């Protein structure tokens, strides 16, 4: 029963057909199409009952038409579910006008004011279609306006049977008032929903521009240094004849700059993929010690330059269930930060402990630590301003932000314990291999 209620609640119906691959504008149009279809289903059900109770002329025929329209609107929701969005919108703009044509021709005439709905439906294509569909928009707009003009100026009042509720002029006027109020309500609801989503589009544009500026800033500043260093040392190696000691120093600096550039680019690409929701997790059984050792091998030069002492206490037999690329990026970022913010000759300790359903990987340093505000930024998923390590190492501010999002996508969590000048302990909880 709970499953049934969940599947048919309003929010679910409004989001039928929405997926992560859709851009925001298309998502808005699909949601509006779903909203109009739902309103159409409810409206046809309502009028089917009212026509029967009030004794409207040819109400049996109208009930058959209402049933046909309701089935068509349900089919339109199904088309959106199957991602046939254009066909769904075209059928919607045709279907919603069908009951109005028949109710004004075979039942009420122009007595109930139902033809006012044509004015509402004349506006609907402007919020359902993009500018590229302008000819279809104009066609639907003109056809609905022609229907309105025809029934307003050339339509005839309905022939109501004496003894029915509709024979009373006051009941007829009540239907007219209901038509006007319903039209205004539908316009207000659709426009309110449209404005709400327009605000979402504007916010998305602002967010996208901020991300673009941040990407350009990282490319301009955080890659300029290491690439400039590589260029200088490559020039030195190609233009001079260095001795063995000079060559080793140059090669070490090249390797360090290459690693730094690689980490910056990987963090940047992972962040962009995560923001665009195109970074699916591929979960598999992995050896935790191998993951930690691979990260240590990549960062060995960075650690040795600062005289960092490693201590790794992770069992060789311990396995975890996660995405290899994602968890490797997380472990590498956390260890890199531990080295970056450790004092020269400091120590990085990596341990693990077993929980009932997860392995807790602890990465501990005795460096400069973090403030309470910085830990709150991690918990809220906010990007850091660019920070510098104890020897002026520069970062992007994206590392822990990327890590937090990656861990969420594979069922992992991260806890941070830190105090200024007291070091930092980061615990990554990873599901145990099944």
**pLDDT tens for each residue of the chain, 434 residues long:** 344 344 446 778 888 888 877 877 788 888 889 988 998 899 899 889 988 888 888 889 999 999 999 999 999 999 999 989 999 999 999 999 999 899 888 888 888 888 889 988 898 888 888 888 899 999 999 999 999 999 888 888 888 888 888 888 888 888 888 888 888 888 887 778 777 767 777 777 777 776 666 666 556 555 666 676 677 777 777 777 777 787 877 787 777 777 767 766 766 666 666 655 555 678 889 999 999 988 888 788 778 878 888 888 988 888 899 888 888 888 888 888 888 888 888 889 999 988 888 899 999 998 888 888 777 776 666 555 556 667 666 555 556 767 777 788 788 888 888 888 888 899 999 998 65
| Same-domain status, 22 and 165 | yes
User: Is 191 contained in some domain?
Assistant: yes
| Same-domain status, 188 and 294 | no
Which of 192, 207, 222 is the last residue before a domain boundary? 207
| Same-domain status, 33 and 167 | yes
| Same-domain status, 296 and 192 | no
The whole-number pLDDT of residue 2 equals: 43
The whole-number pLDDT of residue 248 equals: 79
| Residue 416 near residue 424 (C-beta atoms within 8 A) | yes
User: Is 301 contained in some domain?
Assistant: yes
Mode of pairing for the β-strands spanning 424-431 and 358-365: antiparallel
The whole-number pLDDT of residue 18 equals: 86
Task: Retrieve residue 185's tokens.
Answer: 């309500």
| Same-domain status, 30 and 162 | yes
Total domains in the fold of the chain: 2
d(CA 290, CA 256) in angstroms, rounded, equals 22
| Residue 390 near residue 367 (C-beta atoms within 8 A) | yes
User: Is 154 contained in some domain?
Assistant: yes
User: Is 277 contained in some domain?
Assistant: no
**CA proximity to 365, closest of 349, 351, 389:** 349
3-state SS record for the chain? CHHHHHHCCHHHHHCCCCCCCCCHHHHHHHHHHHHHHHHHHHHHHHHHHHHHHHCCCCHHHHHHHHHHHHHHHHHHHHHHHCCCHHHHHHHHHHHCCHHHHHHHHHHCECCCCHHHHHHHHHHHHHHHCCHHHHHHHHHHHHHHHHHHHHHHHCCCECCCCCCCHHHCHHHHHHHHHHHHHHHHHHHHHHHHHHHHHHHHHHHHHHHHHHHHHHHHHHHHHHCHHHHHHHHHHHHHHHHCCCCHHHHHHHHHHHHHHHHHHHHHHHHHHHHHHHHCCCCCCCEEEEEHHHHHHHHHHHHHHHHHHCCCEEEEECCCCCEEEEEHHHHHHHHHHHHHHHHHCCCCCCEEEEEEEECCCEEEEEEEECCCCCCHHHHHHHHHCCCCCCCECCCCCECCCCHHHHHHHHHHHCCCEEEEEECCCCCEEEEEEEEECC
| Same-domain status, 289 and 203 | no
Which of 179, 207, 235 is the last residue before a domain boundary? 207
Which of 182, 207, 232 is the last residue before a domain boundary? 207
Domain that holds residue 63: 2-207
| Same-domain status, 37 and 147 | yes
| Same-domain status, 301 and 194 | no
| Same-domain status, 47 and 191 | yes
| Same-domain status, 288 and 388 | yes
The whole-number pLDDT of residue 256 equals: 72
User: Is 228 contained in some domain?
Assistant: no
The whole-number pLDDT of residue 224 equals: 62
Interaxial angle between packed helices 324-340 and 399-409, expressed in degrees from 0 to 180 and rounded to the nearest 10? 150
Task: Retrieve residue 217's tokens.
Answer: 């800033």
| pTM beyond 0.75 | no
Kindly report the backbone phi and psi dihedral angles of residue 285, in degrees, each rounded to the nearest multiple of 5, phi listed first.
Answer: -80, 125
User: Is 318 contained in some domain?
Assistant: yes
| Same-domain status, 157 and 11 | yes
| Same-domain status, 153 and 299 | no
CATH code at 339? 3.30.565.10
Interior CA angle at 312 toward 308 and 316, to 5°? 150
User: Is 382 contained in some domain?
Assistant: yes
User: Is 220 contained in some domain?
Assistant: no
């Amino acid at each position: 029963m709970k499953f049934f209620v969940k599947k048919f609640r309003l929010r679910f119906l409004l989001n039928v057909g929405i997926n992560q691959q859709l851009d925001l504008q298309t998502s808005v149009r699909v949601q509006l199409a779903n909203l109009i279809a739902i309103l159409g289903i409810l409206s046809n059900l309502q009028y089917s009952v009212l026509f029967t109770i009030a004794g409207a002329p040819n109400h049996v025929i109208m009930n058959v038409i209402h049933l046909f329209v309701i089935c068509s609107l349900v089919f339109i929701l199904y088309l959106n579910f199957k991602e046939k969005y254009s066909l769904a919108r075209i059928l919607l703009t045709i279907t919603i006008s069908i009951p109005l044509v028949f109710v004004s021709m075979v039942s009420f005439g122009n007595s109930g004011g139902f033809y006012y709905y044509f004015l509402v439906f004349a506006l609907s294509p402007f919020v359902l279609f993009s500018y590229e569909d302008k000819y279809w928009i104009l066609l639907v707009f003109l056809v609905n306006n022609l229907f309105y003009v025809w029934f307003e100026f050339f339509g005839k009042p309905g022939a109501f049977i004496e003894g029915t509720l509709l024979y009373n002029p006051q009941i007829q006027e009540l239907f007219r008032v209901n038509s006007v109020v319903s039209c205004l309500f539908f316009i207000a609801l659709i426009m309110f929903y449209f404005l709400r989503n327009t605000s979402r589009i504007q916010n998305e544009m602002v967010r996208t521009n901020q991300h673009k500026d941040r990407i350009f800033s990282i490319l301009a500043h955080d890659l300029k240094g290491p690439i400039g260093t590589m260029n200088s040392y490559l020039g030195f190696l190609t233009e001079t004849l260095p001795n063995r000691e000079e060559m080793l120093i140059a090669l070490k600096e090249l390797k360090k700059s290459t690693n730094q550039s690689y980490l910056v680019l990987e963090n940047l690409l992972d962040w962009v993929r995560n923001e665009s929701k195109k970074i699916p997790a591929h979960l598999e059984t992995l050896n935790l010690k191998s993951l930690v050792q691979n990260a240590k091998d990549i960062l060995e030069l960075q650690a040795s330059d600062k005289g960092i002492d490693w201590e790794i206490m992770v069992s060789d037999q311990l396995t975890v269930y996660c995405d290899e690329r994602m968890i490797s990026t997380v472990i590498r970022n956390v260890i890199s930060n531990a080295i970056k913010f450790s004092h020269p000759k400091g120590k990085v300790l990596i341990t693990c402990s077993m929980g009932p359903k997860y392995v807790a990987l602890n990465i501990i340093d005795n460096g400069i630590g973090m403030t309470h505000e910085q830990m709150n930024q991690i918990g809220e998923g906010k990007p850091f301003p660019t920070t510098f390590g104890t020897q002026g190492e520069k970062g992007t501010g994206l590392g822990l932000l990327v890590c937090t999002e990656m861990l969420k996508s594979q069922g992992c969590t991260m806890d941070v314990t830190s105090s200024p000048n007291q070091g930092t302990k980061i615990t990554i909880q990873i599901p145990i291999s099944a």
